[in-house]
Amino acid sequence: MLVIIGPTASGKTRLAVQLAQQHNGEIISADSRQVYRGMDIGTGKDLADYVIDGQAISYHLIDIVDAGDDYNVFRYQQDFDRAVEDILRRGKTPILCGGSGMYIEAALRPTALLAVPTNAELRVELDPLTDNELRQRFDQTPSAYSSVADTSTRKRLIRAIEIGTYLTHHPDAQPAPRPALPPYRVIGLDPPVAIRRERISRRLRNRLQHGLIEEVQRLLDQGISPEKLIFYGLEYKFVTEHLQGQLTYHELVTQLETAIHQFAKRQMTFFRKMEREGMKVEWVYE
């Protein structure tokens, strides 16, 4: 198996498609938002990129649930295992490609994730806390999950507290076994920061010019709540706030651009953490 990781706008899909053509491969997406149907422009699906020299490259775990539905890393791990089994059974090479660190980590970890239910009462309790207070709460809720928890955003920090709290009250909870992974090689794309920033800015302008705002309006018209779209973050958060009159167009562009740059930095921080914890990565800096 090949694994392609890197921050947003680093060229992961293009490389994965080229490798799939060369190695009789099929691509498994590791993107936490591309699983949703109807969320195309904002998530950068760019499905036309999966055709190379007239050959359509098969892909998995894109457009598998409706926008607005709940999907999480536990479900992703199960879907990933089924996709790998299917690809290998047909004698092809799985190519895992994406920038969602939690999904990459879930795909590559040797043990299965626990199905920790949401705790609505706890979330109500945590919601008014500041980020620093949430961090203190997380530190006060140590568990076997603490060392691998992704706390890079507020919603992930709340989920980490939720998981830690569950494990504290269910100390005997054990993950189920999962199929052994095939041998894999991890290739990381990390272009120079100046190039990455220019790509992000150019891509954002292109998406805004080619229907991003209209896509979010269409999702709202379909009955998806503003709160759910804001929960999806980045493009969907800021465009929803713009459509609700909370941001001017100029504020939308400047704040969203800054947020995407910050997101790319957090992605690299997560990948470096995985590397420190033992994942061998062959970095490409072009």
Q: Measured between alpha carbons, how far is residue 34 from residues 26, 119, 149, 247 in Å? A: 16, 26, 22, 25
pTM, full prediction:
0.85
Residue 95 shares a structural domain with residue 125:
no
pLDDT tens profile 194-228: 999 999 999 999 999 999 999 999 999 999 999 99
Give the number of domains in the chain. 3
Residues 259 and 136 in one domain: no
Say whether both 102 and 136 belong to one domain: no
Ligand-binding site membership of 6 (annotated): yes
Sign of CA dihedral 275, 276, 279, 284: positive
Q: Within a domain: residue 246?
A: yes
Same domain? For 161 and 214 the reply is: no
Q: Residue 200 domain-assigned?
A: yes
Are 141 and 82 within one domain? no
CATH number of the domain that 209 lies in? 1.10.287.890
In this structure, are 60 and 184 located in the same domain?
Answer: yes
Write out the residue range of the structural domain in which residue 259 sits.
193-264
Q: Are residues 88 and 11 in the same domain?
A: yes
For 79-119, the pLDDT digits (tens) are 999 999 999 999 999 999 999 999 999 999 888 887 788 89
Q: Is 10 annotated as a binding residue?
A: yes
pLDDT category at 175 given cuts 50, 70, 90 is: low
Tell me whether residue 226 is annotated as binding. Answer: no
Question: Does 258 fall in a domain?
Answer: yes
**Residue 269 is assigned to a ligand binding site:** no
Give me the CATH number covering residue 84: 3.40.50.300
Q: Is residue 174 part of a domain?
A: no
Does 99 count as an annotated binding residue?
no
CA–CA separation, 101 and 164 (whole Å): 19
Whether residue 50 is found in the same domain as residue 186: yes
The answer to whether 8 is annotated as binding is: yes
Residue 43 located in a structural domain: yes
Helix or strand run (H / E) with residue 160: helix 154-169
